[in-house]
Amino acid sequence: MLLHLIEILLFAYLAACVLYNLVLSVAGRLARKKKPATQAADVRYARIAILVPAYREDAIILSTARSYAKQSYPAASFETIVVADSLQPATVRQLKQDGISVVEVSFDKSTKAKSLNAAFEQLGDDYDIALICDADNVLETSFLEKINQAYQQGHHAIQGRRVAKNMDSPFAVLDAVNEIVANHLYRKGANALGLSSSVIGSGMAFHYPLAKSVLKEIQATGGFDKVLQLLLIEKGYPVYYLEDACIFDEKVESSEAFQNQRKRWVSSQFVYLRTYWGKGWAQLWKGNVNYFNLAVCQNILLPRMILLAGLLCCTALAFLLQRSLSIPAWWWAVVFLLNILSLLLPLPRLFFTRYFFTALTGLPKAVWIMVSLMFRLKGANNTFIHTQHTKTEIDNPLLDAARK
């Protein structure tokens, strides 16, 4: 009797995860592509501060900061500010010589939230928008124009579309695919259903006073973006996903980098599920579906690779032990196939002809890493795990394919 109860609860949980992702995946696929807004002749150019926290990113930060000068946005209406945490003195000098503003900081325990708060304390309030980027992020040339258009339309919390800068290894391809799927489900699909998009941690633009006030409330080491989005929702600012504004992000090439990055992400997910579980339900009773969705629904989901592995194992066991189980094996098979469908719908056709087998070669090791991480999460959310970046060139054929 107990085993049957466990079986039913396990099936219900995994099926609910799949159904959640599938609904968002279909919603994202059916959503009408938004036509780019035409620029008015009397357009107002908001004053934009591009904030770039850089922790030991000497190899990449000069290239990144210089790349922002290529924006089609009026140069007098935006400023690049590098928050230099543990950069070499020579790097800081070169940034300043290039005319880039630098805020130097130093902490016993570095975090992105601390760097941003230090920058806000030193900067004046002569800005309309704060755009938060990572040290490896490169903006498409019209990025600031598109952000400004959305801002002038009344959106004060905007998430751009983060896409892969590189696809030069099986793990980089898997990381790029993960970004495509997450964008489609939790940002485009969520907006299509009238829900707030989730934020990613970079490529995020906010009304400057809003960003300054919200960041003051964040002390998180890992997963600060999860706290940020809940504070925004609580203050009445749903996040608008601006799919047409692309920001390029370096993808991990090795299994070691993949493991370090995912360890931080998975740990923060479960920490914040526990932290905001009660408040999430309380907000639901008050009618705040956005808060409940981001605090409870998205945090209680199994990471997609673990969900894939779990469903594969459960389906195989269901067929082997079907005489002893209460749930028909074909039920498990249907849920497994629906999960596959939810992951494939967001992907452009070019992926299947050019990258599908490359992704498959890295998938078993990536899944194994994700599963093993579930037993080694203790303390990960209290430790700053830095991912080193080196890529300066953009090579992502899937970007143009996705736009067609």
Q: For the domain that residue 93 is a member of, what is the CATH number?
A: 3.90.550.10
Could you tell me whether strands 240-249 and 138-139 are parallel, antiparallel, or unpaired per DSSP bridges? antiparallel
> With bands split at pLDDT 50, 70 and 90, how would you rate the model's confidence at 404?
very low
| pLDDT of 362 | 84
Q: Which residues contact 22 (CB under 8 A, 6 or more apart)?
A: 338, 339, 341, 342
* pLDDT tops 60 at residue 38: no
Looking at the structure, do residues 242 and 298 belong to the same domain, yes or no?
no
> What's phi and psi for 223, nearest 5 deg?
65, 35
Is 42 within a domain?
A: no
> With bands split at pLDDT 50, 70 and 90, how would you rate the model's confidence at 47?
very high
Is 43 within a domain?
A: no
Chosen domain end from 237, 262, 287: 262
Least confident of 18-22, 78-82, 162-166, 197-201: 162-166
* pLDDT tops 60 at residue 384: no
* pLDDT tops 70 at residue 379: no
| pLDDT of 388 | 63
Looking at the structure, do residues 290 and 157 belong to the same domain, yes or no?
no
* pLDDT tops 90 at residue 134: yes
Is 340 within a domain?
A: yes
| pLDDT of 381 | 52
Is 128 within a domain?
A: yes
Q: Which is higher by pLDDT, 306 or 238?
A: 238
Q: What is the pLDDT of residues 156-170, one digit of tens each?
A: 999 999 998 888 888
> With bands split at pLDDT 50, 70 and 90, how would you rate the model's confidence at 387?
low
Chosen domain end from 262, 284, 304: 262
| pLDDT of 119 | 94
Looking at the structure, do residues 257 and 274 belong to the same domain, yes or no?
no
Could you tell me whether strands 101-105 and 78-85 are parallel, antiparallel, or unpaired per DSSP bridges? parallel
| pLDDT of 357 | 84
Looking at the structure, do residues 53 and 146 belong to the same domain, yes or no?
yes
Looking at the structure, do residues 98 and 180 belong to the same domain, yes or no?
yes
Q: Which is higher by pLDDT, 263 or 132?
A: 132
Is 220 within a domain?
A: yes
The most confident of 3-7, 156-160, 313-317, 320-324, by mean pLDDT? 156-160
Looking at the structure, do residues 129 and 187 belong to the same domain, yes or no?
yes
Looking at the structure, do residues 177 and 251 belong to the same domain, yes or no?
yes
| pLDDT of 23 | 98
| pLDDT of 360 | 83
| pLDDT of 83 | 96
Could you tell me whether strands 204-207 and 157-164 are parallel, antiparallel, or unpaired per DSSP bridges? antiparallel
- Mean model confidence pLDDT for the chain: 88
Looking at the structure, do residues 342 and 364 belong to the same domain, yes or no?
yes
Is 254 within a domain?
A: yes
The b-or-e profile of 37-73 (16+ CB within 10 A means b, else e) is eeeeeeeeebebbbbbbbbbbbebbbbbbbbbeebeb
Looking at the structure, do residues 257 and 279 belong to the same domain, yes or no?
no
Could you tell me whether strands 204-207 and 101-105 are parallel, antiparallel, or unpaired per DSSP bridges? unpaired
User: pTM of the entire structure?
Assistant: 0.89
Least confident of 1-5, 288-292, 306-310, 374-378: 374-378
Query: In the chain, what percentage of residues exceed pLDDT 70?
Result: 87
> What's phi and psi for 354, nearest 5 deg?
-115, -35
* pLDDT tops 90 at residue 340: yes
> With bands split at pLDDT 50, 70 and 90, how would you rate the model's confidence at 231?
very high
Is 22 within a domain?
A: yes
| pLDDT of 36 | 55
- Domain with 63 in it: 48-262
Is 40 within a domain?
A: no
| pLDDT of 102 | 95
| pLDDT of 366 | 80
Q: Which is higher by pLDDT, 299 or 266?
A: 299
How many whole angstroms separate alpha carbon 255 and alpha carbon 162?
A: 21
Mean pLDDT in residue range 194-211: 95
Looking at the structure, do residues 183 and 59 belong to the same domain, yes or no?
yes
Looking at the structure, do residues 95 and 138 belong to the same domain, yes or no?
yes
* pLDDT tops 70 at residue 390: no
Q: Which is higher by pLDDT, 191 or 399?
A: 191
Looking at the structure, do residues 249 and 280 belong to the same domain, yes or no?
no
> With bands split at pLDDT 50, 70 and 90, how would you rate the model's confidence at 399?
low
How many whole angstroms separate alpha carbon 28 and alpha carbon 232?
A: 23
Chosen domain end from 211, 228, 262: 262
Count of structural domains, the chain? 2
| pLDDT of 389 | 63
Mean pLDDT in residue range 218-228: 79
